[in-house]
Amino acid sequence: MPESVIPPPRIQNGAQGSTLGRQLAIQRERRPADPLLSLVVPVYNEEESIDIFLEAVTGLMERDGFRFEIVFVNDGSRDDTLIRLLDHSAADRRLRIVNLSRNFGKEAALTAGIDHARGDVIVPMDIDLQDPPELIEPFMTRWREGYDIVYGVRTQRTSDTTAKRLSASWFYRVFNTMSPVRIPENVGDFRLVDRRAVEVLRQLPERNRFMKGLFAWVGFNAVGVPYERPQRVAGSTKFNFWRLWNFALDGVVSFSTAPLRAWFYVGVVIASIAVLYALFIVTRVLIFGIDTPGYASLLIAVLLMGAIQLLSLGIIGEYLGRLFLEVKSRPIYVVEGVYADGTSQPTKP
Ligand code: UDP
Ligand code: MG
């Protein structure tokens, strides 16, 4: 195995050693000779990046001789993103534009793109070239070897701020401790996914689309290809602190019930302490008689219990809120129209 390849994570698939080899061989046999690649690109207020992206990507894909389509999902941009995309699609039949009726967020936009992609393999990509298109070629090599999911692993996150790096590393630690599904560290949405994994993904009914987690949940044989994540080529990031925090919360809450269960154990510990303390007080009263002081300990106990109850209630609220959203079963996104060849196409339901 070449040095640049990170072995597949153990937890995601039971296959090891020769079992893996055999599984890969079976998949290798099934690979079409001339696969169609679908690049799925969610865009939100990205008018400056579109030209740069298209030039870099189409040039590279033609050079490597891939048959491809690019599915852009316009996620309710308020600038000239859609107009620019339409101009390009009039000249290039390989482009398709799924225009959403408003901003639904990156995860929903990705879902829309994946639903509209027709390729044998799908590669979700950011438009800012932070997901280097040069990686598609090594991704394809691994796919031809039989892997169903090939993800990019960021080796150095020098393009991110220290705060983002630190919080990301904490997020992976917390997530992977709590969730039965492990997500590989420093892996974004940039990956190549085989059609059969895509079909499983599309059957997942949840409204809360934490894509990284869903991709990991699907399973199959996955392998990582390391890369250095460059700076954004144009425009600015769409994720501020709050969006990232909510994103992390969505991830943990939709993949783990550990935060709900934790309160049971907190309750057991506090109840045990209370019983011991009660025994201590009763014994002391029996031996030394009653003394009045105790105001401080009383207040601390009351405040602590109040705080713990509010906290646990808040956590229950997190889950209840999400349950509420899931139960309503509203669609994940609304398509305003699908455009290709510079014209509108009938929309898929
Ligand atoms: N994006 C989107 N909808 C949103 C926010 C972002 O479709 O509500 C797209 C954005 O246009 C870009 C990708 O998601 O193609 C990644 O966004 P960004 O580069 O801002 O994220 P970062 O790389 O800073 O995490
Ligand atoms: Mg980016």
At 147-175, the pLDDT tens digits run 999 998 888 767 677 887 888 888 888 88
pLDDT at 179 over 60: yes
Per-domain residue ranges for the chain? 2-255+332-339, 258-328
Between the alpha carbon of residue 98 and those of residues 58, 152, 256, 291, the distances in Å are 19, 25, 32, 75
Mutate to test the pocket of ligand 1, among 39, 43, 44 (most ligand atoms within 8 A of CB): 44
Q: Is 106 in the pocket of ligand 1 (CB under 6 A)?
A: yes
* 11-25 residues labelled b (16+ CB within 10 A) or e (exposed): ebbebeeeebeebbe
CA proximity to 143, closest of 59, 245, 222, 239: 222
Share of the chain above pLDDT 90, in %: 28
* Phi, psi (rounded to 5 degrees) for 276: -60, -45
Contact 75, 260 (CB under 8 A): no
H or E segment and range at residue 98: strand 95-100
CA–CA dist 70, 39 (Å, integer): 5
The pTM of this model reads 0.77
pLDDT category at 342 given cuts 50, 70, 90 is low
Q: Is 48 in the pocket of ligand 1 (CB under 6 A)?
A: no
- Higher pLDDT: 64 or 122? It is 122
pLDDT at 5 over 60: no
H or E segment and range at residue 210: none
At 95-153, the pLDDT tens digits run 999 999 999 999 999 999 999 999 999 999 999 888 899 999 999 999 999 899 999 88
CA proximity to 93, closest of 67, 60, 75: 67
pLDDT at 3 over 60: no
pLDDT category at 253 given cuts 50, 70, 90 is confident
**Residue pointed to by tokens 């960021």:** 154
**Residue pointed to by tokens 């690649």:** 37
Q: Is 127 in the pocket of ligand 1 (CB under 6 A)?
A: yes
Around Cβ 327, how many Cβ atoms within 10 Å? 8
Residue 317: predicted pLDDT: 87
Average pLDDT over residues 42-50: 91
- Higher pLDDT: 230 or 193? It is 193
Domain 2-255+332-339 CATH class label: alpha beta
Mutate to test the pocket of ligand 1, among 80, 106, 129, 233 (most ligand atoms within 8 A of CB): 106
